[in-house]
């Protein structure tokens, strides 16, 4: 049995879906599985880049398809990139799939399973959908479908998507709420599994502030650092973060001594620690946030580009606490996978969003962070000040996060879960 994995981006691309896919297939290849990755020649951040069309790396056959390369700047260009990749992948699968093979389709492009599932059934192969998000509901939540013809088109897409999920041999969801939504679409329970995304316990380890080179280079020594790492896009709530930055700045100007949640001024060195806001990564919302911060002349806000993967221990350990955000209407459709790297680095998190959401539940039930409601900038400031004034609590949360990660979210657990799913399908 050969395993085919389909996604538009793959190693050496550093996008989140690429890194997850690369981790998984290289590990499975080391365990003896015959794997082909069907991807594009594009890079997530540089649409002008063209990677080699074919190569074999660490036992994995990589076939990179020629597609349009408009990139993510406009909806029309993105749709063209999606369509050309989907058609090229369909043609390749029709020529190469054999009885008993397995096709694992990720959700980039979003509707690729509408093509791969029928082809797999035609060739007596097994179709597996690896759902990183749920489309078209994500597009609807982002306001991209607004009634009329658009609404009717999205309804048709949902019907076709539901049918593809029901016909697939297996659907892998990356969270419990996502799995519940998939079952609600009419997929029988034994064709839905939850396999969480992950981080690597060996490549990301906690690092103390005094031993962190990046913290020194970025001039953040002696500060309480609130960090955001990764993509800040349309699915995220940047407005609450901006409001908290502004409130925090006003509070600092009005009273140099930090104010705790109880409203009592504290003159200790800990509570007097200045708060800095650090953003490492990219995304459309991050560019807007940066422009607004510059316009307002906010101090104590720093922006840094994506860091190399080999620097993740240092990068993720710079903040004392990390921010995670997801718009409430997108719960169950997307899972912010940045949490696993944060937990691996032994840092607590503040989640801005639904307290009953995937990440909100984890933080509150395990006491590894704090949840604040979307739009409540004042609550975010209070949460930051509480942790800044109580470093022992902050450190204890981080230690619990690392222990939770080692117990549930290390890559080794995901590889075992994927192997179990493959074995089950092979014998079904």
pLDDT at 30 over 70: yes
Report the pLDDT value the prediction gives residue 152, as an integer from 0 to 100.
81
pLDDT single digits (tens) 52-83: 999 999 999 999 999 998 887 777 888 899 99
Three-state SS annotation for 250-283? HHHHHCCCCECCCCCECCCCCCCCCEEEEEEEEC
Give the whole-angstrom CA distance, residue 273 versus residue 103: 53
Tokens of 408: 């549930």
Give the whole-angstrom CA distance, residue 228 versus residue 362: 18
For the packed helices 377-388 and 238-254, what is the interaxial angle rounded to 10 degrees? 60
Report the pLDDT value the prediction gives residue 271, as an integer from 0 to 100.
45
- Given pLDDT bands bounded at 50, 70 and 90, which one contains residue 422? very high
Report the pLDDT value the prediction gives residue 10, as an integer from 0 to 100.
97
Give the whole-angstrom CA distance, residue 236 versus residue 256: 31
DSSP symbol at 407: I
Report the pLDDT value the prediction gives residue 154, as an integer from 0 to 100.
84
Percent of the chain with pLDDT over 90: 82
Give the whole-angstrom CA distance, residue 226 versus residue 219: 14
pLDDT single digits (tens) 173-210: 999 999 999 999 999 999 999 999 999 999 999 999 98
pLDDT single digits (tens) 233-282: 999 999 999 999 999 988 876 665 543 333 333 333 334 578 999 999 99
- Given pLDDT bands bounded at 50, 70 and 90, which one contains residue 293? very high
Mean of pLDDT values over 347-362: 97
Mean of pLDDT values over 340-354: 98
Residue with tokens 């089950």: 424
Q: Is the CB of residue 316 less than 8 Å from the CB of residue 405?
A: no
Report the pLDDT value the prediction gives residue 256, as an integer from 0 to 100.
55
Tokens of 186: 């009419």
Q: Coil, strand, or helix at residue 327?
A: coil
| Domains of the chain in sequence order | 2-198+411-427 (3.40.50.2000), 209-409 (3.40.50.2000)
Percent of the chain with pLDDT over 70: 94
Residue with tokens 């708060």: 275
For the packed helices 148-167 and 113-122, what is the interaxial angle rounded to 10 degrees? 30
Mean of pLDDT values over 31-35: 97
Question: How high does pLDDT run on average in the chain?
Answer: 92
H-helix or E-strand containing 363?
A: helix 358-366
Using a cut of 0.75, tell me whether the model's pTM lies above it: yes
Report the pLDDT value the prediction gives residue 258, as an integer from 0 to 100.
45
Q: Is 122 exposed, middle or buried (0-12, 13-18, 19+ CB in 10 A)?
A: exposed
Give the closest residue to 136 by CA, choosing from 85, 208, 185, 89. 185
Report the pLDDT value the prediction gives residue 70, as an integer from 0 to 100.
87
Q: Is the CB of residue 36 less than 8 Å from the CB of residue 4?
A: yes
Report the pLDDT value the prediction gives residue 259, as an integer from 0 to 100.
39
CA-CA-CA-CA dihedral for 68, 69, 75, 76, to nearest 10: -40
Report the pLDDT value the prediction gives residue 147, as an integer from 0 to 100.
54
Neighbours of 207 (CB within 10 A): 19
- Given pLDDT bands bounded at 50, 70 and 90, which one contains residue 142? confident
pLDDT single digits (tens) 224-245: 999 999 999 999 999 999 999 9
Range in 113-127, 149-163, 184-198, 397-411 with the lowest mean pLDDT: 149-163
- Given pLDDT bands bounded at 50, 70 and 90, which one contains residue 9? very high
- Given pLDDT bands bounded at 50, 70 and 90, which one contains residue 149? low
């Amino acid at each position: 049995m050969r395993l085919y994995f389909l996604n538009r981006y793959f190693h050496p691309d550093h996008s989140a879906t690429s890194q997850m896919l690369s981790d998984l297939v290289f590990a499975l290849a080391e365990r003896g599985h015959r794997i082909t990755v069907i991807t594009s020649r594009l890079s997530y951040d540089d649409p002008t880049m063209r990677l080699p069309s074919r190569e074999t790396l660490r036992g994995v056959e990589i076939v990179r398809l020629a597609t349009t390369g408009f990139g993510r700047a406009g909806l029309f260009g993105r749709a063209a990139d999606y369509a050309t990749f989907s058609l090229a992948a369909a043609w390749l699968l029709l020529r190469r799939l054999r009885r008993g093979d397995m096709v694992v389709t990720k959700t980039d492009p979003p509707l690729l399973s509408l093509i791969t599932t029928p082809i797999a059934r035609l060739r007596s192969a097994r179709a597996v959908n690896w759902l990183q998000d749920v489309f078209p509901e994500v597009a609807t939540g982002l306001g991209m479908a607004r009634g009329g013809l658009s609404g009717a088109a999205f309804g048709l897409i949902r019907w076709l998507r539901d049918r593809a999920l029901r016909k697939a041999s297996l659907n892998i969801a990356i969270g419990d709420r996502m799995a519940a939504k998939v079952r609600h679409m009419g997929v029988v329970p034994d064709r839905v599994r939850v396999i969480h995304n992950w981080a690597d316990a060996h490549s990301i380890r906690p690092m103390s502030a005094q031993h962190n080179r990046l913290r020194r280079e970025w001039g953040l020594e002696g500060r309480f650092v609130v960090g955001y790492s990764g993509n800040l896009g349309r699915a995220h709530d940047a407005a609450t973060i901006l409001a908290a930055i502004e409130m925090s700045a006003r509070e600092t100007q009005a009273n140099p001594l930090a104010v705790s949640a109880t409203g009592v001024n504290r003159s200790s060195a800990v509570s007097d620690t200045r708060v800095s806001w650090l953003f490492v990564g990219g995304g459309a919302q991050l560019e807007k946030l940066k422009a607004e911060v510059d316009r307002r002349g906010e101090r104590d806000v720093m922006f840094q580009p994506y860091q190399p993967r080999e620097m993740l221990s240092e990068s993720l350990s710079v903040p004392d606490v990390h921010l995670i955000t997801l718009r409430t209407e997108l719960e169950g459709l997307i899972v912010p996978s940045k949490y696993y790297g944060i937990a691996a680095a032994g840092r607590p998190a503040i989640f801005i969003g639904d307290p009953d959401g995937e990440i909100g539940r984890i933080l509150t039930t395990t006491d590894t962070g704090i949840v604040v409601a979307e739009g409540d900038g004042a609550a975010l400031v209070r949460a930051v000040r509480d942790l800044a004034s109580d470093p022992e609590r902050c450190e204890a949360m981080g230690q619990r996060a690392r222990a939770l990660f080692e117990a549930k979210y290390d890559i080794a657990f995901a590889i075992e879960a994927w192997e179990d799913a493959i074995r089950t399908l092979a014998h079904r």
